[in-house]
Amino acid sequence: MDVASIAKARWNIRGQSFEFDHIAPISRAGETSLENLALACGGCNRHKSNKVQGIDPATGDRVELFNPRQQQWEVHFGWTDDYTQMIGLTAIGRATVAALKLNRIGLVNMRRVLCMAGKHPA
């Protein structure tokens, strides 16, 4: 399978459907290359759309969104004590949580179920 086919494919991992997101969107001169692709759920991919920046809710500053190929998740994100909501630890983390709506009710409920089943990834 070539990279373009991979980018257009939907993947099902443990019952969850994922698609590839272009980290730097094609509409903003991003390329279809393995270095520019990341798995995302459909909801997160649609909320991200062609965004590369977001607003940090704490400061109002416009900042780059999290890049999973260049940055470490643990630096920018954490969890609430019950592991149901993501917390942005940095401006990039906060802007990404807000832009992708990473604490929307469906995700919070899914995390709650995963915690009860002992399968939350945190």
CA distance 77 to 92: 9
**Which residue, among 11, 7, 65, has the nearest Cα to 31 in the 3D structure?**
7
80: alpha, beta or left? (left if phi > 0; alpha if psi -120 to 50): beta
Which band of pLDDT confidence, cut at 50, 70 and 90, is reported for residue 28?
A: very high
Percent of the chain surpassing pLDDT 90: 71
Sequence spans of domains, the chain: 1-45, 51-122
Which band of pLDDT confidence, cut at 50, 70 and 90, is reported for residue 15?
A: low
11: pLDDT strictly greater than 90:
no
57: pLDDT strictly greater than 70:
yes
DSSP of 35-88: GGEEEEEHHHHHHHTT-SEEE-TTT--EEEPP-TTTS-HHHHEEE-TTSSSEEE
Query: What is the pTM for the complete model shown?
Result: 0.85
79: pLDDT strictly greater than 90:
yes
